[in-house]
Structure 1
Amino acid sequence: MDNHNNAGKPARRGAFTRFLDTVEWLGNLLPHPVTLFAILCVLVVLASGIAGALGVSVADPRPANEGEWIAVNSLLNADGLRRLITEMVTNFTSFAPLGTVLVAMLGVGVAEHSGLISATMRSLVLNRSPRIVTYAIVFAGILSNMAAELGYVVLIPLAAMIFHSLGRHPLAGLAAAFCGVSGGYSANLLIGTVDPLLSGITQEAAQLLDPAYTVGAEANWFFMFVSTFVVTLIGGLVTERIVEPKLGKFDATQASDEIDDQQMVTLEPIEKRALKGTGLAMLAIVAVLLVLVVPENAILRNQETGTIGGSPFLSGIVVIVAVSFTLLGFVYGRLAGTMHTDRDVVDAMAKSMSRLGLYIVLVFFAAQFVALFNWSNFGTVTAVAGASLLDSLGLSGPGLFALFILMCAFINLSLGSASAQWAVTAPIFVPMLMLMGYAPEVIQAAYRIGDSTTNLITPMMSYFGLILAVASRYQKDMGIGTMVALMLPYTLFMLVGWSVLFFVWVFVFGLPVGPGAPTYYTL
């Protein structure tokens, strides 16, 4: 019996590795996301010409337009060319995610380059009780997505060192940190740069059906705040109950080089003092915001209704985040000696902007694709046809969203960029699910679950190679298949657990996923 089992294991491992190789091969067939959007633009123009010539159309589902039809507009003509040339610049500059992400990154850049974010992450995991260190690492990883590079570059190697210094398997620490940084990418206690990025794309997609609809950066804040603790719990339990026991005792002879515990990064006394001073500054900022928001006639409340909903506080949350991070980053920098004058702040902002070059190029082509998709009416026609199909199949509620989350998770295996994937799929699925009666904010929250959970097992994720390199330090024969097998339990349990939270949140308690965010949409 034992021989039979041992004989079967290599075959199963080989089949799994072949599957991973197939996924990697298919993903490698995809062009660069920028090139992909350029190709999609051409395809939309060509397809609109064919559909326009064939007279493709659907009945308008909006009650106010009963009896009218929505047809695909051909862009393969002189009018289409003239419109593209004259509106290409405004398509780019008016693309909702562009400005909000750039503004947010100004503040995050100051906090990052001053050392505040790095020191905060280290303070969360260093010198913690061995009983809570696993959960502290996952939690710190989730918070690090406000500056994702630091999570990958600083926290993941640090977590492996911490586990090794505690006599635990370093790959278990690496896996726990990777789970938080990448698997919990969309969750956070605060509004991060991913929020305005996705909400801007969601708004553009929603406006294909409802031109007046707006989606704020805070659209999923409530749900993602709670998700932070749920993902932390799942990540910690999977690490301690599944991953670490499976890894067993660390064998130093399997490491690619000599491991030195003294390499573990610590917090210097000046950093500790700077963090304490920054904490006081944060309390002062919170106090000011409370004065501006809490009183009945506060400046940042909705002046017409006196409520938080539709208030300058929510609509300007990105600006508030940017200013807060700038102030906190400068305070920390002054106290830690990493910043001295306004020039240091400006330099930090400039460095932050310089790293967004690829993102800006991507946004240019994504904005053209969204505009062309909008002009052609493809989004509306596809959404109406898809909604009719789902309705005829009887899919609704939890079943509908379970299928949607799984689809997003599968697509993410080959298209690792959250913004690229959402820019392609949102124009179809947001209007479609709106026609099924669900608000864009809820649709976006579901997308974020599928997109985040499979980050851990796709070689297409941009930092996968870096994680593999760090892991190979502790296991010299570490390959893609081994790495994916290590992280697969996190993906499975997070996909199920996070989805259950979503279904209970939306369909059992009917809670809003964000401030003022509706659950249902009515035409």
Structure 2
Amino acid sequence: MKSSTGNQKPKQNWGDKFLNVVEKTGNKLPHPVTLFFIFAATVLVLSFVLSAFDVSAQHPDPDIEEPIKVINLLSREGIRDILTGAVGNFTGFAPLGVVLVAMLGVGVAERSGLIAAMLKKIVMGAPDKLVTAVVVFAGVMSSMASDAGYVVLVPLGAVIFLAKGRHPIAGLAAAFAGVSGGFSSNLIITMIDPLLGGFTQEAARMFDATYSVTPAANLYFMMASTVLITCIGVLITEKVVEPRLGTYTGSYKQDLEPITPREIKSLKIALLALIGFIAVVALMTIPETGILRTDEGALLDDPASPFIGAMIPLISASFFIPGLAYGISAGTIRKDKDVAKFMEETMSTMGGYIVLAFAAAQFVAYFEWSNIGLILAISGAEFLQAINLTGIPLILAFIFVSGIINLFVGSASAKWAIMAPVFVPMLMTMGYSPEVAQLAYRIGDSTTNIISPLMPYFAIIVAFAQKYDKKLGIGTLISTMVPYSIAFMIAWMIMLTIWMLIGLPIGPETPVIY
């Protein structure tokens, strides 16, 4: 039996049949662009209906007395906002600029021949048993570079698997699982740590006015989680996803000829160029007075750090500069017009994503304007309070509810700003530290990223996947990622339960018990 992805599938078990139902149901939906416009229209109608019934919720912050109400976007003011805000929604859509800027550099590296040569040199000689682990681990670690993993590692995972004679969608899924499903994990502190820590500290001070939360609050647990997510990602990819996808029989090919002496020489020159670029970045970041540090000397522990803000241009440059050096050495770049041509060709391939981004941007904006997402988050928090769970069962329920809310509210910081004032003081009264509440939230928030169409980068992952199967729809991608989502949540819950029962610190001088 052949699937829509051009694969010869083996005999299916009950799990495969369930995922096939998810896939078929999802793929019966319209084109993703049409679907996002339908979602946007649905939000408009819901905003009208819910506002008519005066649906609202009380913000958990006691300083905010006004209830949060559903805003009717079909009112006089709402229609004005829809029309006047359409362009701003599109140009302000966070993934759009990130993707296009990053792809300028990646395009030069790809079309100059650098990426193909790297694959021939590294990937084709790498042990097959380690390829999946390397792809997932690199995805997990990519959060140190903000959102660059979505536009660099996810498509690269597909290329690597195809070059190895494996299914490209499996490689894409493995990288996506690491980048997005394991977003909170890392071996070092990333920008998400101080961002969430600030909200946690403010919420904790509602109960203890002197309490402080450091950016390293969850570091030990997240370091261990990096290993856990990598292992689970490898297991799901090789035992569930690849067998279900079967053999790739699509038209897209990744033929890699043996590497030539000139390519090896050009790779060495590209490596020297990259080392030189890294040295320049180091001069701007390592000294306490470095250009890319804040005036106070902060680098990664302050979301306002210039280094964090410059991450995407730096990522783009880290591909552009070696790609330029490689092209000049290999003879694929002879004049400046070649570089401009490479960039133009890269942007021409992004047309489908740009259209998709426009539709997705309107939907996300309408959902935010209507306040429906905020009310869902508050209602979820109130539900957990109402069922009167305590201790570890409450924390596990909190993880699950956070994951469900994440399907509807994409921003990690926006959700935590709403939920922290409720759960941090509540868990403190039960004897658990604020850092545990933050940790539980991060687990729930990460595990359902990969199955949520509201996740800002979901649209571009669909676009990347359609490179290998033009008929691939949202249903196929979601059904492929569901096993990762379920496995990550279960494994993380078990790990957190054991961690709390033993009483291990979750970060430097950060105990489980308050």
TM interval, shorter chain, is 0.5 to 0.7
Q: How is 1:484-495 mapped onto 2 (pairs within 5 angstroms)?
A: none
Give the match for residue 36 of structure 2.
37
Matched to 2:120, the amino acid is R
Question: In the alignment, which residue of structure 2 is the partner of 1:279?
Answer: 271
Amino acid at match of 2:345: K
**Cα distance, 1:380 vs. partner?**
2.1
Shift of 1:427: 10
CA positional deviation for 1:450: 4.0
CA contact (8 A) 1:138 1:179 kept: no
2:181–2:485 contact (8 Å) kept in structure 1: no
Q: Partner residue of 1:515?
A: none
Sort the Cα spacing of 1:47 and 1:466 in 2 relative to 1 into closer, same or farther, 3 A: closer
Contact 1:449–1:499, Cα closer than 8 Å, also in 2: no
Whole-angstrom CA distance in 2 between matches of 1:42 and 1:49: 11
Partner Cα distance (1:44, 1:228) in 2: 37
1:359 aligns with 2:337: no
Map of 1:157 onto structure 2 = 162
The alpha-carbon distance between structure 1 residues 16 and 223, as it changes in their structure 2 partners (threshold 3 A), is closer
- Amino acid aligned to 2:29: L
Higher relative contact order (CA 8 A, sep 6+): 2
1:78 aligned partner:
76
Q: Which residue of the other structure, out of 304, 309, 329, is the alignment partner of 1:335?
A: 329
Tell me by how many angstroms 1:393 deviates.
Answer: 3.0
Partner amino acid, structure 2, of 1:82: R
Report the CA distance between 1:499 and its aligned residue: 6.8
Residues in 1 aligned to 2:417 and 2:348: alpha-carbon distance in whole angstroms: 35
Matched, 1:94 2:89: no
CA distance in 1, matches of 2:496, 2:94: 26
Residues 200-251 of structure 1: CA deviation (Å, up to 9, x unaligned) = xx99xx9xxx9xxxxxxxxx999999877665555667899x79xx99xxxx
Q: Is the 8 A contact 2:59 2:418 kept in 1?
A: no
Q: Is the 8 A contact 1:278 1:328 kept in 2?
A: yes
Q: In 2, distance between residues paired with 1:365 and 1:72?
A: 22
1:18-57 paired onto structure 2 within 5 Å: 18-57=17-56
Give distance in 1, aligned partners of 2:308 and 2:275. 20
Alignment of 1:460-499 (within 5 A): none
- Correspondence for 1:113: 111
Aligned to 1:292: 284
Specify whether residues 305 and 126 from structure 1 end up closer, same or farther in structure 2 by C-alpha distance, changes over 3 A only: closer
Q: 1:359 to 1:116 in 2, by over 3 A?
A: same
Q: How many residues align?
A: 420
CA contact (8 A) 1:187 1:225 kept: no
CA contact (8 A) 2:396 2:440 kept: no
CA distance in 2, matches of 1:406, 1:73: 23
Distance 2:334 2:417 in 1: 50
Name the structure 1 match of 2:58: 59
- Tell me if structure 2 keeps the 8 A contact 1:45–1:74: yes
> In structure 2, what is the equivalent of residue 139 of structure 1?
134
Cα distance in 1, alignment partners of residues 329 and 101 from structure 2: 25
SS of aligned partner of 1:299: coil
TM-score, scaled to structure 2: 0.65
Matches within 5 A, 1:140-219: 146=152, 148-152=154-158, 154-160=159-165, 180-181=174-175, 183-186=177-180
Deviation at residue 422 of structure 1 after TM alignment: 7.2
Distance 1:35-1:444 versus aligned 2 partners, 3 A rule: farther
Normalised to the residue count of structure 1, the TM-score between the two structures is 0.64
Q: CA deviation at 1:91?
A: 1.9
Measure how far apart 1:293 and its partner are.
Answer: 0.9
Q: 1:496 to 1:333 in 2, by over 3 A?
A: farther
* CA–CA distance in structure 1, aligned partners of residues 48 and 279 of structure 2: 57
Correspondence for 2:214: none
The separation in 1 between residues aligned to 2:15 and 2:413, in whole angstroms, is 34
- Confirm or deny: 8 A CA contact 2:384 2:397 kept in the other structure: no
Distance (Å, rounded) in 2 between the aligned partners of 1:494 and 1:431:
24
Q: Could you give the per-residue CA deviations for residues 24-47 of structure 1, whole angstroms, max 9, x where no partner exists?
A: 321123222222221122222222
Gaps of 5+ in 2: 1-10, 140-148, 184-190, 204-217, 250-254, 425-436, 454-460, 471-475, 509-514
Distance 2:248 2:308 in 1: 50
User: Hey, what's the Cα distance between the residues in 1 that align with 2:362 and 2:261?
Assistant: 51
Alignment pair present for 1:381 and 2:375: yes
Residues in 1 aligned to 2:267 and 2:95: alpha-carbon distance in whole angstroms: 32
Q: 2:23 corresponds to which letter in structure 1?
A: E
Match of 2:315 in 1: 321
CA distance in 2 between counterparts of 1:452 and 1:379 reads 18
CA contact (8 A) 2:153 2:175 kept: no
Structure 1 residues 17 and 143, CA, compared in 2 at 3 Å: closer, same or farther?
closer
Task: Evaluate the alpha carbon distance shift between residue 495 and residue 465 of structure 1 in structure 2; reply closer, same or farther with a 3 A threshold.
Answer: farther
Structure 1, unaligned runs of 5 or more: 1-11, 161-169, 190-197, 211-219, 248-253, 258-262, 412-420, 470-479, 513-523
* Alpha carbons of structure 1 residues 321 and 281: separation in structure 2 relative to 1, 3 Å: same
Other structure's SS at 1:65 match: coil
Give the superposition deviation at 1:370. 2.4
Name the CA distance, whole Å, in 2 between partners of 1:306 and 1:32. 45
Q: Distance in 2 between matches of 1:64 and 1:384?
A: 16
% identical aligned pairs: 33
TM-fit CA distance, 1:115: 2.2
Q: Could you tell me whether the CA contact under 8 Å between 1:334 and 1:340 is conserved in 2?
A: yes
8 Å CA contact 1:183–1:452 kept in 2: the answer is yes
For residues 246-261 of structure 1, the aligned pairs below 5 Å read none
The residue identity in structure 1 corresponding to 2:378 is V
Q: How far apart are 1:267 and its partner, in Å?
A: 2.0
Q: Does 1:127 align with 2:119?
A: no
Distance 1:365 1:502, change over 3 A: farther
Cα 1:81/1:109, change in 2 over 3 Å: same
Is the 2:117–2:259 contact (alpha carbons within 8 Å) kept by the matching residues of 1?
A: yes
1:220-231 pair list within 5 angstroms: none
The DSSP-based 3-state class of the residue aligned with 2:63 is helix
Distance 2:469 2:219 in 1: 32
Structure 1 residue 23 displacement after superposition: 2.1
> 1:312 maps to what in 2?
306
User: Is 1:391 aligned to residue 396 of structure 2?
Assistant: no
Q: Which secondary structure state, in structure 2, belongs to the residue aligned with residue 121 of structure 1?
A: helix
In the alignment, is the contact (CA less than 8 A) between 2:154 and 2:175 conserved in 1?
Answer: yes
**Whole-angstrom CA distance in 1 between matches of 2:321 and 2:116:** 16
Q: Deviation at 1:440?
A: 9.6
